[in-house]
């Protein structure tokens, strides 16, 4: 292999990529990187998202701060969703946290600053339910305070198209 010390010339007959001019090496590396990115995008398209139930938590009074946990169990008592939140003026909502549609939610337990609230998952008695098409049922949990300042919750049912990866 013949390589000039004073220039980046590629010598024909050389099998070494290192002997290629640096601009060509950069082009080759950029092309290879772009091909890898494109190939990884193709594999993501192949997996279809799963439909999901969802939980959204809102802080009703943004002047307050609350530590909140939400747990959803199915009819056998198995936990199908569980998440903790620190709600404040800077973080007043967490929207559309999904859990698998294959589950059949039964009970919602919300704890606000140590006070526990237990409610049934909204069922067909709600005017919005059952959901149509690919929409799935979910809940909005509103964390509010009563006149004395004690925490209260309000749970509203809704239907949305939400998926999980």
* CA proximity to 80, closest of 105, 97, 43: 105
pLDDT higher at 139 or 64: 139
Domain extent at residue 160: 50-164
The verdict on 140 and 60 lying in the same domain is yes
pLDDT tens digits for range 96-122: 999 998 888 999 999 999 999 999 999
- Window from 31-40, 83-92, 129-138 with minimum mean pLDDT: 31-40
Q: How far is CA 138 from the centre of its chain?
A: 15
Residues 6+ apart with CB under 8 A from 110: 68, 69, 70, 71, 116, 117, 119, 141, 143, 153, 155
CA distance 10 to 27: 15
Given 47, 64, 84, the domain boundary residue is 47
The verdict on 59 and 140 lying in the same domain is yes
pLDDT reported for residue 126: 72
The verdict on 43 and 57 lying in the same domain is no
The verdict on 71 and 124 lying in the same domain is yes
If one counts the domains in the chain, the total is 2
The verdict on 65 and 140 lying in the same domain is yes
The verdict on 66 and 6 lying in the same domain is no
Output the domain CATH number for residue 79. 2.60.40
CA distance 153 to 115: 10
The verdict on 43 and 55 lying in the same domain is no
The verdict on 23 and 79 lying in the same domain is no
The verdict on 125 and 141 lying in the same domain is yes
The C-alpha angle with vertex 74 and arms to 68 and 75, in degrees rounded to 5, equals 135
The verdict on 143 and 113 lying in the same domain is yes
Strand partners, 68: 85, 112
The verdict on 78 and 144 lying in the same domain is yes
The verdict on 33 and 56 lying in the same domain is no
pLDDT tens digits for range 130-160: 888 999 999 999 999 888 889 999 999 999 9
Q: What b/e sequence results for 7-25 when a residue is b if at least 16 CB atoms lie within 10 Å of its CB, and e otherwise?
A: eeebeeeeeeeebbeeeee
């Amino acid at each position: 292999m013949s390589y000039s010390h004073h220039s980046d010339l590629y010598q024909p007959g050389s099998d070494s990529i290192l002997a290629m001019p640096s601009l060509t090496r950069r082009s080759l590396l950029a092309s290879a990187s772009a091909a890898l990115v494109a190939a990884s995008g193709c594999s993501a398209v192949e997996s279809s998202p799963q439909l999901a139930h969802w939980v959204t938590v809102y802080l009703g009074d943004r002047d307050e701060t609350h530590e909140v946990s939400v747990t959803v169990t199915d009819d056998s008592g198995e936990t199908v969703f569980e998440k903790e939140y620190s709600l404040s003026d800077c973080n007043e909502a967490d929207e559309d946290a999904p859990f698998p549609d294959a589950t059949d939610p039964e009970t919602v337990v919300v704890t606000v600053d140590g006070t526990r609230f237990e409610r049934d998952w909204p069922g067909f008695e709600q005017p919005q339910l059952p959901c149509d098409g690919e929409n799935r049922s979910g809940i909005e949990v509103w964390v509010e305070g009563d006149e004395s300042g004690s925490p209260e919750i309000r749970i509203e049912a809704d239907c949305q198209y939400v998926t999980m990866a």
